[in-house]
Amino acid sequence: MLRKWISMALVAAFALPMSVKADEGMWLPMFLSRLNHVDMQKEGLNLTAEELYSINNSSLKDAIVNFGGFCTGEMISDQGLVLTNHHCGFGAIQSHSTTENNYLEDGFWAMDKSQELANEDLFVQYLVNMSDVSTDVLSVVNDDMSEDERSQAVHAKIKELKASATKGNNYVCEIKDFFEGNEFYMFMYEKYTDVRLVGAPPSSVGKYGGDTDNWMWPRHTGDFSMFRVYAAPDGSPADYAEGNVPMQPRHHLPISLKGVKDGDYAMIWGYPGGTDRYLSSYGVEQAIEVSNPSVVEVRDLKLDIMDQHMDADPATRIKYAAKHAQTANYWKYFIGQTKGLKRLNVFGDKQELENEFQNWADAEPARKAKYGNAIQLLKEGYAATDKNVKGNTYLREAGISGSESMLFAFKMGRMMGALSNPDIPEEGKKGIRAQIEAEVESHFKDFDMALDKQLFAELMAKYFNDIDAAQHPSFFAEVTKKYDGDFNKYADAMYSSSVFVSKDRFMEYLGRKDNGGLFKFLRKSNAKIMENDLVNQAATSIFEQYFASGSANAEAEAKMAKGYRLFVDGLRKMNPTKSYYPNANFTMRCTYGKVGDYYPADAVHYDYYTTMEGLMQKMDNNNPEFVVPQKLVDLYENEDYGQYVDADGKLHVCFISNNDITGGNSGSPVINGDGELIGTAFDGNWEAMSGDIAFEHKLQRTISVDIRYVLFIIDKYAGATNLIDEMTIVK
């Protein structure tokens, strides 16, 4: 099933009927006062509901930012200083790195604001307010509509509401559906685009443990980086300019040096990216049997190819560092999730809930008429997509996101085509030309032709061999006919001639701007070049197959959309006294729970924190994942921990809590009952990887870097006391 598997993290999870629980739930801030605040106070919160979320006054939500559209950050000073994860800032750090100034390896610290580094395309968004627009959106739909008619009507109404909400202001408006299309909420944001890199530890700190420790506890990773938001002199959002000044947030988090104890209250605010907590048993079965293993298989090959080239060349290692990390992260995730789903019998639990739902629906004629077919719709929808799941996974993983040349060619084709559109005014075309030039610079800056060529040849060969011919892109027939089915031969011809794999060739193809400000490629004489370009042919074929697969699954997807909408609506009516939270969809959420240890297996106990002692026990300078810088060794041997030492005399590095997070929460603040920052969340634990589909109360833990270790690295290791001085420290 394609449903939501293209989301940024595909962190699927399932919300079972429940009362409000302290450790489970991704709650919308606007409802905390009604649903959660009393329970939060019982657990240890000392703030009022108004101090958590307020439209009219400064509140905790004003310190939380959407970081770049893929992570979370928190404001930690009144001068626009943002803290997030090292892996969230990884792309920015990598973009400024060279073999001469390798900030990934050595770290980066701006000792004053003049040394901070601008980052093109990086932004943060502050939530202004959220509101329920369900009545307005659903006023245009009725039960007699097809799913396509319903979708079109909802889309049109959302477009209308967004236009009205942003008229006369500079806010960014988003309207998203919740509870599988049963409710809709509007979010108004203020977007700042001048975000500069301030500080980052070396990867030996920020990625300590590498892929080996990823998703594991105990952990000893200083996963943090720092940025600063800048604004126009009047405080309004502005693109990068030397005259911009540090943005003054409405609220920033004070930082606690008091540390954490077992059982302490802990809440996490942020932007969880994508869950699917109403996933059916049919969806779980498809994930276990087909989807997850297919992703792992393809990514195995991708990582092997990247490793070959990155190990052979330091420059390539820098170029592909972020890409490798992104690929590896969810390669390991899907391995762990599949194991957990099987071990914990999640499929059986889903079936039990669905049987209960069906009995409830069938027990009363009116309910049966409305909800009685929901589970059957899901069953039929999944059955219809089963035969295409592996092919569609390969299409995405090996085709669209395999060789970078495929996506680059598709994007360029779309933009170049727009320049030929007579309906687009010249001013609009000027912006498109600027986009093309920017995309070319960005793409080729971190592109290695030899690596990309091998990715294409080997991934396409795997696709050809593993997937039924009926689901092949059309250009596979050309490879078979003209190249004897040898994708290496095809790749030789492709990469030796295509304009899309060489910046020099592509710029030559574009030419200089001539009369009328148009590029040369618009001349008819160049049309033949594009027609015969093998990358263009392959990319066009891959995307044609992608769109065709979507059309082929349209009826099944419509059944599943209706089935899930009815199932979730009925589930909430079946348990009217229960409190349900909606799936994550990269909107602000709060989760609250407690710091605590756990028992992952028989006779195994994991404590709730790690220390420098454990970090040094893992040290192996012959293994790039466990290198410890000499200065950090010296600080450890001298026990030079300063004010960041715990009451037990040790420097704590990481801790765990039973908070409910997922992808997108990376960089989220962990906050104590007084509203003070105690850590930054960065991972989940291996034993509960299936917890993204069914929350595991005994096993599920959020791994966070202790804020005292963050400050220790900034202060004692980097000597960037200028940053410490602007924070509000609570002892």
CB distance 249 to 235 below 8 Å: no
Q: How far, in Å, CA of 522 to CA of 528, rounded?
A: 11
Distances (CA, A) of 319 to 314, 458, 541, 703: 9, 21, 28, 28
H or E element: which one contains 428?
helix 426-445
Is 87 one of the catalytic residues? yes
Output the DSSP codes for 651-694.
-EEEEEE-----TT-TTPEEE-TTS-EEEEEEEE-GGGGGGGTS
Is 666 one of the catalytic residues? yes
Q: What is the rounded end-to-end Cα distance, in angstroms, of the chain?
A: 51
Which residues does residue 656 pair with via DSSP β-bridges, in sequence order? 703
> CA 521, 525, 527, 533 torsion: positive or negative?
negative
CA dihedral 669→672→677→678, nearest 10 degrees, is -90
CB distance 626 to 208 below 8 Å: yes
Identify the CA nearest to 14 among candidates 340, 332, 270: 340
Identify the CA nearest to 209 among candidates 570, 534, 628: 628
As separate numbers, helices (DSSP H) first and strands (DSSP E) second, the chain gives: 30, 22
Which residues does residue 671 pair with via DSSP β-bridges, in sequence order? 267, 677
Kindly name the residue from 223, 264, 452, 692 that is annotated as catalytic: 223
Kindly name the residue from 281, 666, 668, 704 that is annotated as catalytic: 666
Q: How far, in Å, CA of 353 to CA of 424, rounded?
A: 53
Alpha helices in 474-610 (DSSP H): 475-483, 487-497, 503-510, 527-532, 534-552, 554-574
CB distance 671 to 277 below 8 Å: no
Phi/psi for 123 (5° steps) reads -145, 165
Identify the CA nearest to 260 among candidates 684, 584, 652, 636: 652
Output the DSSP codes for 306-366.
HHHHHHH-HHHHHHTHHHHHHHHHHHHHHHHHHHHHHHTTHHHHHHHHHHHHHHHHHTSHH
The residue assigned the tokens 């003049």 is 114
Side-chain half-sphere CA neighbours of 285 within 13 A = 14
Q: How far, in Å, CA of 445 to CA of 503, rounded?
A: 9
- Residues whose CB is less than 8 angstroms from the CB of residue 480 and which lie 6 or more positions away in sequence, other chains included: none
Q: Are strands 124-132 and 245-246 parallel, antiparallel or unpaired?
A: unpaired
CB distance 464 to 478 below 8 Å: no
> CA 147, 149, 150, 152 torsion: positive or negative?
positive
Kindly name the residue from 86, 87, 251, 652 that is annotated as catalytic: 87
H or E element: which one contains 706?
strand 702-706
Is 652 one of the catalytic residues? no
CB distance 66 to 189 below 8 Å: yes
Q: What is the CA radius of gyration of the chain?
A: 26
Identify the CA nearest to 198 among candidates 246, 234, 153, 236: 246
CB distance 399 to 463 below 8 Å: yes
Q: How far, in Å, CA of 700 to CA of 716, rounded?
A: 33
Q: Please list the active-site residues.
A: 87, 223, 666
